[in-house]
Amino acid sequence: MGHFLFFLAVVVACLLWSAAFTAAAARTRSGWIRRGLIVVAMAAPVLAIAPWVFITAMFAFGLWLETNWFGPTLTTALAVVIGGVWIMRAGLSPRAAPAAGDWPLMRLVAMFVLTTAVAFGTLWLIDTSIQNEMRMVRIEAAQIMQSVATPQPLLDDDAAPLYRQAFELLEADKELDQKNTPLFDATDCDVSTAAVTDVLARHAVTLDLLRRAADRRGCRFIRDWSRPAMALGEFDLPPEFYSMRKALGLLTLAARRTAAAGDVVAALADVVRLHRVAAHAVDDDDPDMQWIGWHANINALKTLPPILARITAVNATAIADPWLADVVHRPQSLLRHMRLQEARGLVTLTKLGEGTMNFHDLPLTARNRALGLDPAALSIGYRCFFVTADIRAFRALLGRWQHVVQLTMTTGVGPSQIDRNVKHMSELPRNRICRDALIEMAWHPITRGHYWEAYHRAAEVLLAATRARLKTGSLPESTDSLVPEFLIALPADPYRDQGPLTVKIDAAGWLVYSVGPDGEDDGGPPQDAEHVDGNDDVGLRLSR
**Contact between 501 and 492 (Cβ < 8 Å):** yes
In whole angstroms, give the CA distance from residue 284 to residue 420.
31
In whole angstroms, give the CA distance from residue 538 to residue 452.
9
Looking at residue 168, what is its pLDDT?
92
Would you call 142 exposed, middle or buried from its count of C-beta atoms within 10 A (0-12, 13-18, 19+)? middle
What number of other Cβ atoms are within 10 A of residue 410's Cβ?
8
Task: Locate the DSSP E strands across 421-536.
Answer: 502-506, 509-514
**Contact between 353 and 165 (Cβ < 8 Å):** no
In whole angstroms, give the CA distance from residue 522 to residue 143.
46
**Contact between 442 and 429 (Cβ < 8 Å):** no
**Contact between 216 and 159 (Cβ < 8 Å):** yes
Would you call 155 exposed, middle or buried from its count of C-beta atoms within 10 A (0-12, 13-18, 19+)? exposed
The partner residues of 542 in beta bridges, in order of sequence, read 510
Question: Hey, CA dihedral for 238, 240, 246, 249, is it positive or negative?
Answer: negative
Strands 234-235 and 230-231: what pairing?
antiparallel
Q: How far is CA 63 from CA 60, 319, 377, 388, in A?
A: 6, 56, 17, 18
In whole angstroms, give the CA distance from residue 379 to residue 172.
42
In whole angstroms, give the CA distance from residue 316 to residue 282.
30
Helix or strand holding residue 539 (H, E): strand 538-543
The partner residues of 505 in beta bridges, in order of sequence, read 510
CA angle 363, 364, 366 (to 5 degrees): 120
**Contact between 92 and 31 (Cβ < 8 Å):** no
In whole angstroms, give the CA distance from residue 397 to residue 66.
15
In whole angstroms, give the CA distance from residue 85 to residue 89.
6
Q: Which alpha helices (DSSP H) does 473-500 contain, by range?
A: none
| Domain map (residue ranges) of the chain | 2-103, 149-332, 337-447, 453-544
Cβ-based neighbours of 323, under 8 Å, separated by 6 or more: 272, 275, 276
In whole angstroms, give the CA distance from residue 398 to residue 88.
53
State whether residue 230 is helix, strand or coil.
strand
How is the beta sheet containing 538-543 ordered, strand by strand?
502-506, 509-514, 538-543
Nearest to 257 by CA among 186, 173, 176: 186
Looking at residue 358, what is its pLDDT?
65
**Contact between 174 and 233 (Cβ < 8 Å):** no
Residue environment code for 335-362, b if the CB has 16+ CB neighbours within 10 A, otherwise e: ebbbbbbbbbbbbbbbbbbbeebebebb
What number of other Cβ atoms are within 10 A of residue 422's Cβ?
16
**Contact between 299 and 277 (Cβ < 8 Å):** no
Indicate the DSSP class of residue 436.
I
Looking at residue 187, what is its pLDDT?
81
Residue environment code for 26-35, b if the CB has 16+ CB neighbours within 10 A, otherwise e: bebeeeeebe
The partner residues of 504 in beta bridges, in order of sequence, read 511
Would you call 488 exposed, middle or buried from its count of C-beta atoms within 10 A (0-12, 13-18, 19+)? exposed
Written as one letter, the residue type at 100 is A
Q: Which alpha helices (DSSP H) does 27-159 contain, by range?
A: 31-61, 70-91, 105-148
Question: In whole angstroms, what separates CA 219 from the centre of its chain?
Answer: 23
* Averaged pLDDT in 10-residue chunks for the chain of 544 residues: 89 92 84 84 89 86 79 92 89 70 88 93 88 86 80 84 92 84 82 88 92 88 60 56 88 89 87 87 78 82 87 77 73 72 80 70 49 56 81 78 67 52 50 55 62 85 89 86 85 81 87 82 73 76 84
**Contact between 487 and 461 (Cβ < 8 Å):** yes
